[in-house]
Amino acid sequence: MDLIYFDHISGTPIHTAVREVMIKYIEQGGFYNPSSQHHLGDLALETLEDARSKVAGLINSKPDEIVFTSGGTESINHAIKGVAFARAKKGRHIITSNIEHQSVSRTLRVLMNMGYQVTAVNVDRYGLVDPDDVKKAIRDDTILITIMHANNEIGTIEPIAEIGRIAREKGIVMHTDAVVSCGNITVDVEAMNVDLLSMAANQFYGPPGVGALYIRKKTPIYPIIDGGTQENNQRAGTQNMIGIVGMAKAAELASIEMPSRTEHLLKLKRYFLERLKEIDEIVINGHPDNSLPGLVSFSVEYVEGESMMIMLDEKGICVSTRSACASGSLRASHVLIATGSDYATAQGTLLFSFGIDNTIEQIDRAFEVLKDTIGFLRNISPLYKKK
Amino acid sequence: MQYSDIVMEHFKSPKNIGRIENPDGIGEVGNPVCGDMMTITIKVKDNRIDDIKFETFGCGAAIAVSSMVTEMAKGKTLEEAMQITNKSVAENLGGLPKNKLHCSNLGADALHKAIMDYYHRREGKTKEPRKFEKVEHIEKKEGKCHCPYCDAEITEAARFCRKCGSEITLDK
């Protein structure tokens, strides 16, 4: 049975070219510490700075504004806590949205327990933040605005440039969680007016466990991992060189191949959406146009997401669900509830996220299984009125 | 997903699917809000469960539990069936992941409700089966929301509990 992987939002496969440079780097040593004073240290430093330039190139920043981290979550923690601590004397109010990833919302909750105040603006039915709402939420003591670039559950792309402009006018630091967007759609820190931007390599065919935080010069921010002077005093600890080398290659490829990748992903997405019309009572989540090219979130009425996901998994098709059960708690997705979905419908949500190696033929195969699965589960559902 | 082989078997090929026409007892538990809802219908003959069927909206564990509880109850006397516990259903399934144990609660509950419904009907107190109740019933205890049916905590930021009165903001 051929495996069909439609869960790129949970992690993309490591690109063969990325794998090759990582293996080559290990074979050439792989352990040299860029902080060492001898020539092996110099070699590593050169590799590190080259990687930094490549990652900077992906988001149109200067190389010395890139801080390598252990991934998206660390970058986000660093951005939010770093600014909160550095600005604590100026103010303790932070603005966010109500559809953020847990790495944002839980970080903010920790800060709330420490006395910070947080305003979460609502989104519309497509998951879009209204920049005006952000503007209205600004107070004299607002120190940070953190709104995600693209949503990881419904794919909606937020108007970050507009929100960033508002933040800049008011002298408020602007962070965006670009973990699922960076490397997949155009991310330009200048055009987006952001001071901080979080990214992760495993969202654009790089390895997991490595990411970066963009820090615009003069942004007030403290490190959250203290120790040595690595990463321009922003992130202590010897760099994950093998991961960084892989991330740089992935960033380079993403920059070059983005147009063709996007075209391919959109083709898959449109085809899948077209086929979904064959099943009645399915709700498509997220913005119809302004969303990630490879992601389709849909809710199937009268059935629960996890049961569909497992049945697909049994047939070798890997997808995700944001249903409460699968995430280990009993909650429906906070993102879907925020967009006005009712609880029962939200429970029946599946997330198909396509990647560059997926094909139309795979979609056709998966769709047949999906159709059978929905039929089977609706048949045993007390909510489904049999026709 | 950490499901036992028995759970997977019952999930993939559930037994006793459906709804009995003119049943002697109906048991409905759960709510789509919690992700699980179960309806069990029974036919009683000579004080024994002659036939039993289920319909379930829910995760893999909930479906497997429904299938297992109907298998366990079939042919048993009503008294014996009342002795089937959530624990025994979970045990017969070879265990359930910890966060799925609430699903097994629904199984035995639905069965017991169906039997109680049978007793009520026999005494002439026909009860309307409970319709799907809306979310407003979620109660707020000590700042946290609990599902009224499975009593699970619905924490994740205040915004989530807007149906029980909280504002959709992380503000305190």
pLDDT per residue as tens digits for the range B91-110: 999 998 887 777 677 899 99
- Asked if the C-beta of A303 comes within 8 angstroms of chain B's C-beta atoms, the answer is yes
How far apart CA A195 and CA A147 sit, in angstroms, is 12
Instruction: Give residue B155's pLDDT.
Output: 45
Judge whether B160 and A331 are in contact, CB under 8 Å: yes
Q: Tell me which chain A residues have a C-beta less than 8 angstroms from the C-beta of B55.
A: 380-382
The low-confidence residues of chain A, meaning pLDDT below 50, are 324-329
Does the annotation count B103 as an active-site position? yes
CATH number at residue A139: 3.40.640.10
Q: Structural domain tally of chain B?
A: 2
| B156/B110 same-domain check | no
Q: Tell me which chain B residues have a C-beta less than 8 angstroms from the C-beta of A329.
A: 99, 152-156
Q: Between A and B, how many CB-CB pairs are < 8 A?
A: 128
CB neighbour list of residue A161: distance below 8 Å, 6 or more residues apart: A191, A192, A193
Instruction: Give residue B127's pLDDT.
Output: 52
Nearest Cα of chain A lies from the Cα of B109 at a distance, in angstroms, of 16
SS3 call for B150 = coil
Cβ contact, residue pair B59, A120, below 8 Å: no
Which domain range does residue A298 map to? 4-11+258-379
Q: Structural domain tally of chain A?
A: 2
For CA atoms A41, A46, A51, A57, the dihedral sign is: positive
Q: Is the pTM of this model over 0.80?
A: yes
Q: Average model confidence (pLDDT) for chain B?
A: 77
Residue at A100: amino acid letter: E
Cβ contact, residue pair B170, A112, below 8 Å: yes
Instruction: Give residue B105's pLDDT.
Output: 77
CB neighbour list of residue A240: distance below 8 Å, 6 or more residues apart: A68, A70, A209, A210
| A175/A197 same-domain check | yes
Cβ contact, residue pair A334, B160, below 8 Å: yes
Q: Tell me which chain A residues have a C-beta less than 8 angstroms from the C-beta of B36.
A: 304, 325
| A195/A64 same-domain check | yes
Nearest Cα of chain A lies from the Cα of B151 at a distance, in angstroms, of 10
CATH number at residue A367: 3.90.1150.10
How far apart CA A63 and CA A55 sit, in angstroms, is 8
Nearest Cα of chain A lies from the Cα of B28 at a distance, in angstroms, of 9
| A158/A208 same-domain check | yes
Instruction: Give residue B170's pLDDT.
Output: 32
| Count of CB atoms situated within 10 Å of the CB of A35 | 14
Annotated catalytic residue: which of A225, A325, A337, A369? Answer: A325
Tokens standing for residue A239: 């760099």
| A207/A337 same-domain check | no
Locate the chain B residue with the closest alpha carbon to A386.
B18
Residue at A106: amino acid letter: R
| Count of CB atoms situated within 10 Å of the CB of A327 | 18
Residue B141 reports pLDDT greater than 60: no
Instruction: Give the DSSP H/E element, type plus range, for residue A167.
Output: helix A160-169
Judge whether A370 and A8 are in contact, CB under 8 Å: no
Q: Tell me which chain A residues have a C-beta less than 8 angstroms from the C-beta of B35.
A: 304, 306, 323-325, 330, 332, 347
Is the ipTM higher than 0.90? The answer is: no
Q: Could you tell me which of B25, B28, B20 has the C-alpha nearest to residue B44?
A: B25
| Count of CB atoms situated within 10 Å of the CB of A240 | 18
| B19/B103 same-domain check | yes
Judge whether A164 and A193 are in contact, CB under 8 Å: yes
| B19/B97 same-domain check | yes
Length of chain B: 172
- Asked if the C-beta of A7 comes within 8 angstroms of chain B's C-beta atoms, the answer is no
Largest CA-CA distance found in chain B, in angstroms, rounded: 61
| B108/B143 same-domain check | no
Cβ contact, residue pair B1, A303, below 8 Å: no
Nearest Cα of chain A lies from the Cα of B76 at a distance, in angstroms, of 24
CA dihedral B58, B61, B66, B70 (to 10 degrees): 170
| A44/A167 same-domain check | yes
How far apart CA A300 and CA A373 sit, in angstroms, is 11
Answer whether residue B169 is part of any domain.
no
Which domain range does residue B74 map to? 5-122
Residue B148 reports pLDDT greater than 90: no
Instruction: Give residue B171's pLDDT.
Output: 30
| A173/A34 same-domain check | yes
- Asked if the C-beta of A240 comes within 8 angstroms of chain B's C-beta atoms, the answer is no
Cβ contact, residue pair B99, A329, below 8 Å: yes
Residue B169 reports pLDDT greater than 70: no
Cβ contact, residue pair A323, B59, below 8 Å: yes
Tokens standing for residue A67: 């801080």
List b or e across A259-271, with b for residues whose CB sees 16 or more CB atoms inside 10 angstroms: eebbebbeebbee
Annotated catalytic residue: which of B103, B145, B147, B164? Answer: B103
Q: What part of A 354-383 touches B (C-beta under 8 Å)?
A: 379-383
Q: Could you tell me which of A52, A33, A54 has the C-alpha nearest to residue A44?
A: A33
Q: Kindly indicate the confidence band of residue B31, based on its pLDDT and cuts at 50, 70 and 90.
A: confident
Instruction: Give residue A180's pLDDT.
Output: 97
| B88/B160 same-domain check | no
Nearest Cα of chain A lies from the Cα of B78 at a distance, in angstroms, of 24
How far apart CA A331 and CA B156 sit, in angstroms, is 8
pLDDT higher at A323 or B158: A323
B19, B60, B171: residue with CB nearest A306: B60
Residue B75 reports pLDDT greater than 50: yes
Q: Kindly indicate the confidence band of residue B125, based on its pLDDT and cuts at 50, 70 and 90.
A: low
Judge whether A332 and A323 are in contact, CB under 8 Å: yes
| A347/A237 same-domain check | no
Q: Kindly indicate the confidence band of residue B28, based on its pLDDT and cuts at 50, 70 and 90.
A: very high
Q: Could you tell me which of A76, A90, A73 has the C-alpha nearest to residue A147?
A: A76
Q: Could you tell me which of B55, B45, B58, B47 has the C-alpha nearest to residue B16?
A: B55
| B21/B63 same-domain check | yes
Exposed / middle / buried, residue A3 (Cβ in 10 Å: 0-12, 13-18, 19+): exposed
- Asked if the C-beta of A338 comes within 8 angstroms of chain B's C-beta atoms, the answer is yes
- Asked if the C-beta of A3 comes within 8 angstroms of chain B's C-beta atoms, the answer is no
Instruction: Give residue A155's pLDDT.
Output: 96
How far apart CA A96 and CA A108 sit, in angstroms, is 9
Instruction: Give residue B137's pLDDT.
Output: 37
Q: Could you tell me which of A358, A271, A299 has the C-alpha nearest to residue A6?
A: A358
B35, B168, B171: residue with CB nearest A325: B35
How far apart CA B19 and CA B40 sit, in angstroms, is 7
| A333/A271 same-domain check | yes
User: Mean pLDDT over residues B55-74, rounded?
Assistant: 94
Residue A59 backbone dihedrals phi, psi, to 5 degrees = -120, 15
CA B163 vs CA A342, B34, B134, B167: distances in Å? 11, 14, 10, 9
| B101/B147 same-domain check | no
Length of chain A: 387
